[in-house]
Amino acid sequence: MKSKSRIFVLIIFFVFLFLPIYWMINMSLRTNADILHTLALYPTDPTFANYIKIFTDSDWYSGYINAIIYVTINTLISLTVALPAAYAFSRYRFMGDTQVFFWLLTNRMAPAAVFLLPFFQLYTTVGLLDTHIAVALAHCLFNVPLAVWILEGFMSGIPREIDETAFIDGCTMPRFFITIFIPLIRAGIGVTAFFCFMFSWVELLFARTLTITNAKPISAVMTRTISATGLDWGLLAAAGVLTIVPGALVIWFVRNYMAKGFALGRV
Amino acid sequence: MARIEFNEVAHSYLKNPKGDADYALKRIHNAWEDGGAYALLGPSGCGKTTLLNIISGLVNPSKGKVLYDGREVAGLSPEKRNIAQVFQFPVLYDTMTVFDNLAFPLRNRGTAKAEVEKRVREVAEILDLTHFLNQRAAGLAADAKQKISLGRGLVRSNVAAILFDEPLTVIDPHLKWHLRRKLKEIHEQLKLTLIYVTHDQVEALTFADKVVVMYEGEIVQTGTPEDLFENPEHTFVGYFIGSPGMNFLPCKIDGNMARIDGAKIPLDEKTAVMARNVREKLELGIRPMYLEVTPFAVENGVPVQIVLIEDQGSHKIVSVKLAGQLVRAVVPEDKPVPEGKAWIVFPQQKIKLFADKRLLKSEGATL
Amino acid sequence: MNKWENNKAWFFLIPVLIFVCFSAIIPLMTVVNYSVQDILAPGKTVFVGTEWYRIMLRDPRLHEALWRQFLFSGLVLLIEMPLGVLIALAMPKKGWGVSFCLVTLALPLLIPWNTIGTIWMIFVRPDIGLFGAAINEWLGIAFDHTRKPLDAWITLMFMEVWHWTPLVALLAYAGLRAIPEVYYQAAKIDGASSWATFLYIQLPKMRGVLTIALLLRFMDSFLIYAEPFVLTGGGPGNATTFLSIYLVKLATGQFDVGPAGAFSLIYFLIILVLCFIFYQVLQNVGKGAKT
């Protein structure tokens, strides 16, 4: 491609990417009355009233805290559970290994809607409904298989001679795992944590269904606002902007690793 | 086919090169004769590949001119220069058959179908690829893949030159020999200009009529394999060619003698005269195979201490200590080697003197 | 690589199995249980066998939702794949532009799905949205995604392309960067046009990542829920009621757990078949890359 048409394509696409986000930010800085009254390309009279409301109303800000709590719990559980399993898949051949691996992957592909009703019943029965742990566990459905898959890829890249040497030197499995192996796949664990965080953070269906008040995440609070009568657009937009922030922060921190990873030809 | 000339070419990968160190190629002024088989020899990172890419037009030099048969080619694309290049790793169009791979350069130039068919068949014949023609190129062995890469160059009629960038790196050792012979055959048959980059001296010396030795972005010597061995013009050539490489001993001139610390080595009259006028650092160089090791004192012999004897089967490599310097000598298998103290003799006609790493030669002397 | 043969490796799987049992097997069993019973009153159930399955399989609304789903996924792939590759080709290879492009592309992927719906709802509304207002007032076309099915579809497609094309672009870019420079050099020497270079070098070399991108996009678009739920709620009418939305409506809206259970299993089965094909194709791609 000629460099002019390259830049043209990129600019068009990036404008397309930014416009909707920009529009939401624009809305979030205006009052509802202002929004409904005039269509302005930029906020003529910017106000932080919507943000202030979110940060002072516990209904709103606890939504963020709840979401961050269950996302963190989910990431931790997924990693802990997936590490040994990924090790088994990358190092051993055993009866039914490919079948189990495939079956795990099917859970990643399972429609969340299928599990909605049974989850609701199950968590009600065991008394976990409306707790952070319930959402965290529900998200394990798709995050654990994903974590196993990604970690397995990273582990297979590490020569098995390292394991063998350690065992010959009399290192026990748990010790080897914690002191030698885990440091070796740091990068892989980072990538996996990133993906677990991301998928748990963006999910709506389970998070909305399995929580009522105590653990209600921001996404559920937002959908409630949408369906409520007398929609407050400015407030909704501000809440939306705030849900973008954690993702944007994460990307900002990993941007250099991304560029490096891509330069090496790996994702 | 063409004669390729480099006129004061220099290249730096940086935008604003400062000193010499920023240049990948320092100053190249050289000509590649039409129909010659050249080897470009040098260690990794000496600028060989850069030089090759300048010839083919993949890289435009920061300074100087490149001429094809006297015509400047600056800015001409590789395609227009009509160059063929074979890379270190085989480059194939995976989705195509061998036939399509070979036909690709012709089709890109809009060659008529019948002509494409004819040329591809001819080239496949030369390279023994005829039976693979309808196979997918992706599944073949490394040597066949390299032949296809070469074939894509050969199909075009009258290519100016074929450039090889360490093409045998990924080939099994026993096939290397076969492929190298094939290259020589093609050279004899088609009389093409071949330029072959390698860091393997055996490969260079067996393949080429002329070997061009590069070192730190410069051509230090061009010559026949024999020339390079007998008359290295630069200490690097002496060190790089031959195994083990040439011995170099820092020395001072004292009358007709070269003094290496305490030891005195007689020089012939001409060399000694030249050396007396030199102000730069002097080094005495000699090939290990020309050194004579004797167990007793002889005329002009220098006393040394034997350090190590390595038996190589056909000959022995004897390492000796001469006034604190390590010197290596090659001794025939049948000749006994003394232990401990010994004497070595430097034959006068084989001694070379180097001033600031360059061979000292008399004015007007030609090699 | 030869792996160690050892069935004790199953011990490593115990934690995973416990969790997956809890979050997949037990719920799935519950679904099976629902699907073969009719709950007449709390605590009073009747075994109905395959009754619900027969009803669901003949349900015209399910058929519609399924065709809608295939149409949607098909369109999504048709637009996103070429567009993603185009973006990847246009991206710079070095310099600060690389980081900028990567960060920008990754941004939509990390926005919660309901926020995506919200962003677009605000963006396309005729009264307050830039997009809606631009089309209605400046271009003079009456556009309303809440009333006209076609407009709702157009809006959804825009949103989907906006949301997921960056993923295709990122994967394609990774594939492009993995192509060694010599291929381009050889193409130059062979006199290949940039179109031929794309067709015979870039595209074949990207085959692996593009297959992954294609299948991921197909799967995820097949499961889409949150974005249309927020944006259109499945409407107008049933115009954007995809499988997941219909299922959730059935399960929580009408509380017909029997049919919902049967539907769930049918849905899951479709996914399973697609998933199997996905796995097989991936394995073959892996093999193809090694030779």
The rounded distance, in Å, linking the Cα atoms of B216 and B44 is 10
Mind listing the pLDDT tens digit for each residue in B257-302? 888 887 888 888 888 888 888 878 888 889 998 988 888 888 888 8
Mean pLDDT of B44-52: 85
Please name which of C231, C229, C224, C237 lies closest in space to residue C132, comparing C-alpha atoms: C231
Q: Does C131 touch chain B (CB under 8 A)?
A: no
Q: What number of other Cβ atoms are within 10 A of residue B166's Cβ? A: 21
Q: Which chains touch A (3 or more CB pairs under 8 A)?
A: C
Q: Do C1 and A160 make contact, defined as CB atoms within 8 angstroms?
A: yes
Please name which of B254, B344, B266 lies closest in space to residue B298, comparing C-alpha atoms: B344
- The three-state secondary structure class of B253 is strand
Mean pLDDT of B51-55: 88
A positions 106-125 inside 8 Å of C (CB):
106-107, 109-119, 121-122
Q: Do A137 and C34 make contact, defined as CB atoms within 8 angstroms?
A: no
Q: Which listed CATH number (1.10.3720.10, 1.20.1260.10, 3.40.50.720, 1.10.730.10) goes with C60-290? A: 1.10.3720.10
Listed range (A253-267, B140-154, B275-289, C259-273) with the worst mean pLDDT: A253-267
Measured in whole angstroms, how far is the alpha carbon of residue A174 from the centre of its chain?
29
Provide the pLDDT for residue C82.
Answer: 94
| Average pLDDT of the residues of chain C | 83
Q: Which chains touch B (3 or more CB pairs under 8 A)?
A: C
Contacts of C202 in chain B (CB under 8 A): none
Q: Does A36 touch chain C (CB under 8 A)?
A: yes
- Give the residue from C116, C118, C136, C206 with the most A CB atoms within 10 Å of its CB, the best one to mutate: C118
Q: Residue A4: which H helix or E strand, with range?
A: helix A3-28
Confidence of residue A12 (pLDDT cuts 50, 70, 90): very high
Provide the pLDDT for residue A230.
Answer: 56
Q: Do A144 and C104 make contact, defined as CB atoms within 8 angstroms?
A: no
Q: Is the peptide bond before A20 cis (omega within 30 degrees of 0)?
A: no
Contact assessment for residue A239 and residue A54, using Cβ atoms and an 8 Å cutoff: yes
Q: Does C50 touch chain B (CB under 8 A)?
A: no
Stretches in chain C below the pLDDT threshold 70: 1-2, 40-43, 254-255, 282-283, 285-291
Question: Pick from A1, A93, A116: which is nearest to C251 by CB?
Answer: A116
Is residue A76 pLDDT above 90, yes or no?
A: yes
Q: Do C248 and A116 make contact, defined as CB atoms within 8 angstroms?
A: yes
Confidence of residue B1 (pLDDT cuts 50, 70, 90): low
Q: What number of other Cβ atoms are within 10 A of residue C6's Cβ? A: 13
Judge residue B206's burial from the number of C-beta atoms within 10 Å of its C-beta, 0-12 exposed, 13-18 middle, 19 or more buried.
Answer: middle
The residues near A251 (Cβ < 8 Å, ≥ 6 apart) are A258, C103, C106, C107, C110
Q: What proportion of chain A, given as a percentage, has pLDDT over 70?
A: 93
Provide the pLDDT for residue C289.
Answer: 46
Q: Residue B129: which H helix or E strand, with range?
A: none
Contact assessment for residue C16 and residue A144, using Cβ atoms and an 8 Å cutoff: yes
Mean pLDDT of A159-170: 84
Q: Do C186 and B91 make contact, defined as CB atoms within 8 angstroms?
A: yes
The residues near B162 (Cβ < 8 Å, ≥ 6 apart) are B83, B84, B85, B86, B150, B153, B154, B192, B193, B194, B195
The residue of chain A with its CA nearest to that of C224 is A111
The residues near B222 (Cβ < 8 Å, ≥ 6 apart) are B30, B210, B211, B212, B213
Q: Position of tokens 């065992």?
A: A167
Q: Position of tokens 């009052």?
A: A31
Using N-to-C axis directions, what is the helix angle for A97-109 and A132-156, rounded to 10°?
A: 130
Q: Does C289 touch chain B (CB under 8 A)?
A: no
Q: Do A205 and C24 make contact, defined as CB atoms within 8 angstroms?
A: no
The rounded distance, in Å, linking the Cα atoms of B302 and B259 is 11
At C245, which amino acid appears?
I
The residue of chain C with its CA nearest to that of A93 is C5
User: How far are the Cα atoms of B142, C56, C218 from residue C63, in angstroms, in the given order?
Assistant: 53, 9, 19
Mean pLDDT of B42-50: 85
DSSP string, A164-225: HHHHHTT--HHHHIIIIIHHHTHHHHHHHHHHHHHHHHH--HHHHHS-SSTT--HHHHHHHH
**Tokens matching residue B295:** 């167990």
ipTM of the complex: 0.81
Q: Which domains does chain A have, with CATH numbers?
A: 57-264 (1.10.3720.10)
**Tokens matching residue A18:** 């930014």
The residue of chain C with its CA nearest to that of B102 is C190
| Average pLDDT of the residues of chain B | 85
Q: Where are the beta strands (DSSP E) in C20-102?
A: 37-41, 44-47
Q: Does C198 touch chain B (CB under 8 A)?
A: no
Q: Does A225 touch chain C (CB under 8 A)?
A: no
- Is the torsion defined by CA of C260, C261, C262, C267 positive or negative? positive
The residues near B357 (Cβ < 8 Å, ≥ 6 apart) are B234, B235, B236, B283
Provide the pLDDT for residue C166.
Answer: 92
Mind listing the pLDDT tens digit for each residue in B96-125? 889 999 999 888 888 889 989 998 998 888
Contacts of C271 in chain A (CB under 8 A): 106, 109-111
A positions 61-100 inside 8 Å of C (CB):
77, 80-82, 84-85, 87-88, 90-95, 97, 100
Q: Do B105 and C191 make contact, defined as CB atoms within 8 angstroms?
A: yes
Please name which of B244, B155, B154, B240 lies closest in space to residue B194, comparing C-alpha atoms: B154
The rounded distance, in Å, linking the Cα atoms of B260 and B242 is 24
The residues near A181 (Cβ < 8 Å, ≥ 6 apart) are A87, A158, A162, A163
Q: What number of other Cβ atoms are within 10 A of residue A179's Cβ? A: 11
Which of the two residues, C49 and B223, has the higher pLDDT score? Answer: B223
